[in-house]
Structure 1
Amino acid sequence: MISVLLPVRNAAAGLPAALDSLLGQTLGDFEIVAINDGSDDGGATQAVLEAYARRDARLRVLHRPHGGIVAALTAGLAAARGDAIARMDADDVCHPRRLERQAAFLDAHPDIGLVSCLAAFGGDPEAARGYKAHLDWANGQATPEAIRLGIFRESPLPHPTVMFRAELPGRFGGYRQGPFPEDYELWLRWLEAGVAMAKLPEALLVWNDPPGRLSRTDPRYDAEAFHRIKAGYLARHLARINPHHPEVLVVGAGRPTRRRAEQLLAHGVVIKAWLDIDPRKIGRVLGGRPVIALEAVPPPSACFVVPYVASRGATDILSRFLSQRGFVLGRSFLPAA
């Protein structure tokens, strides 16, 4: 059986569409564990949940005082009875065969612990260009290798697209509370533990973008939070794959890039120099390290390079440049933005 975890707070407007899409699934053997996280909208969300629960016994509702997304998900995991856990948000909509396709994939691939899917963007592509660009990038990370290598740039797995084996939280820990995105930290931790992750190459969820989405309003989901939480995981990964450990060269000498990259220092990484294309920076010493022209990067036999430039599209350009110089993704360079 599949357990769908659906945390809900003040979501009466979008909740009926989300529930209809779940209750219309072609897979019959599943439950929805809806966690009402202290909704205070005059009983509107509670009324929707209770009306649907009366109609279909597959919906189980947990009413809790408001404790936040991590507390709600933890309560849902404790109550779930399924062999696999699917995530869903109250403002998104599933394809009718989503659960069937993902459950069948896990059944057929016992080596895979988590499977995601592509997602269609349900917001305004002009007003939310950043979110749309992120989803386009995430949809492109569609193989276990791409997920593993892309995880240090940003999250390649939108949270409501995933289904994972119910045993994983017990083995490697579940959602953790802290000043960071709870899903991204979970993927980093599970990948570090060796959990293989895959993605179905079809859009089985519409990822909507309402103004109140937590990733828009909560500081745990801003760019700096992502960089803080991934620093330790990235440093440990570099220790495993970098033949020149602990030394790296970082692409990007701007102040925001340096500030983010320098979080690696607390985890034992040594930044030998900055690589940059700005002639005003080249030859200077910034943060105690020289700035070297990107064109003068030593060969891969002499260094490991970590591109940290965050501007959209820059990492792909840098990856092509480094590949032309003989660098190999995951072996002699690894993007971190």
Structure 2
Amino acid sequence: MLKRISVVTTVYNGEPYFDRAIPSILNQTYTDFEWIIVDDGSTDATPQLLAEVAKKDARVKVLSPGRLGFIKALNYAMENTQTEYIARQDFDDTSSPERLRLQVEFLDAHPEVGVVGCNYIVEDENRNERYVRMPATEHDQLIKTMAKCIPFAHTLVAFRKQAFLQAGGYPDMQDVEDLRLWITFAKHGWLLASIPETLGTHWVYPKSFWHQNFQYSQRQKQLAGVQWQAIRELNLPLWMGIYPIGRQAYLYAPNQLKSFVRRFLAGSKEKTLEYSKSN
């Protein structure tokens, strides 16, 4: 009998993070899922450790196609799913126990919604910040958010495989692949939504794969370009171009000002939490 939802994860040299995604997904209150994990050519003990996890839990399916790179590995994982819904999960992030249950129930109840996000905790070791990010919940507001920033945490969304296939999969482009995908979902007529509950934690840290492979300035410039794409292709007001233009100034703002800029100028809804290196 087919499962209802596939959790999709790629990992490269994830040995230090086996205490994060794996227990948080395997301890979900919703149990009717398969977990597709693509080992993207790891050179540490990740393959052996993943084999042990898969041996203990039949829901875990480990695929080892060799080194593909993040986007190709994601699309490869998606090709091997056999469910109606997909939940993204990064190996070094965590999901709360109720995440899959709530996202499956939401997609069941809202067949017009292509992708659903959630509130989430950000543990930012680069800026010594800890806060809850709370995306808008309604489609119209989320569309407008795409002119300002990425509306969801990619690691904590769930979406319909049908919408993903209509979009042609993840675009084979380095970085900002999630925002590009949500734009295409919207162009195909799918609605976007977010559950107003905190359903996971996303870590930002200097040693992450992303920070080692993409310069911060490069990321901001690419993101500004995709923001312009959202404005053009989703028929947003041209005045919203102030946000991608302003991203260039945000790039050079000191860390102490970035929170102010996000919250009061870009309108990001966030709740500050106490920061500790032990979190």
Alignment TM-score, normalising by the size of structure 2: 0.81
Distance, in Å, in 2 between the alignment partners of 1:201 and 1:176 is: 28
Match of 2:114 in 1: 113
Q: Which amino acid aligns with 1:60?
A: K
In the alignment, which of 10, 13, 22 is matched to residue 10 of structure 1?
13
Change (3 A) 1:251 1:78: closer
Whether 2:102 is the aligned partner of 1:101: answer yes
Match of 1:149 in 2: 144
Match of 2:75 in 1: 74
Change (3 A) 1:231 1:97: same
* Structure 1 residue 103: Cα displacement: 0.2
Whether 2:22 is the aligned partner of 1:22: answer no
Match of 1:212 in 2: 207
Change (3 A) 1:61 1:241: closer
Whether 2:127 is the aligned partner of 1:127: answer yes
Do 2:120 and 2:201's aligned partners in 1 also have CA atoms closer than 8 Å?
yes
Q: Which amino acid aligns with 2:221?
A: E
Do 2:98 and 2:199's aligned partners in 1 also have CA atoms closer than 8 Å?
yes
Unaligned runs of 5+ in 2: 268-279
In the alignment, which of 195, 198, 220 is matched to residue 193 of structure 2?
198
SS across alignment from 1:13 = helix
Change (3 A) 1:241 1:108: same
Distance, in Å, in 2 between the alignment partners of 1:319 and 1:211 is: 25
Do 1:219 and 1:225's aligned partners in 2 also have CA atoms closer than 8 Å?
no
Counterparts of residues 87-98 of structure 1 (less than 5 Å): 87-98=88-99
Distance, in Å, in 1 between the alignment partners of 2:148 and 2:240 is: 17
Q: Which amino acid aligns with 1:160?
A: T
Match of 1:184 in 2: 179
Identity of aligned residues (%): 27
Distance, in Å, in 2 between the alignment partners of 1:84 and 1:171 is: 14
Q: How many residues align?
A: 256
Distance, in Å, in 2 between the alignment partners of 1:94 and 1:248 is: 37
Q: Deviations over 1:173-232 (max 9, x none)?
A: 110112442112111222233221111111111112243324423338610011223323
Match of 1:229 in 2: 226
Distance, in Å, in 1 between the alignment partners of 2:246 and 2:195 is: 36
SS across alignment from 1:235 = helix
Match of 1:40 in 2: 43
Do 1:2 and 1:30's aligned partners in 2 also have CA atoms closer than 8 Å?
yes
Do 1:185 and 1:230's aligned partners in 2 also have CA atoms closer than 8 Å?
no
Unaligned runs of 5+ in 1: 261-307, 321-337
Distance, in Å, in 2 between the alignment partners of 1:183 and 1:259 is: 18
Change (3 A) 1:27 1:257: closer
* Structure 1 residue 168: Cα displacement: 1.2
Do 2:9 and 2:91's aligned partners in 1 also have CA atoms closer than 8 Å?
yes
Larger relative contact order (CA 8 Å, sep ≥ 6): 2
* Structure 1 residue 123: Cα displacement: 4.1
* Structure 1 residue 40: Cα displacement: 1.1
What is the CA RMSD across the aligned residues, in angstroms? 2.9
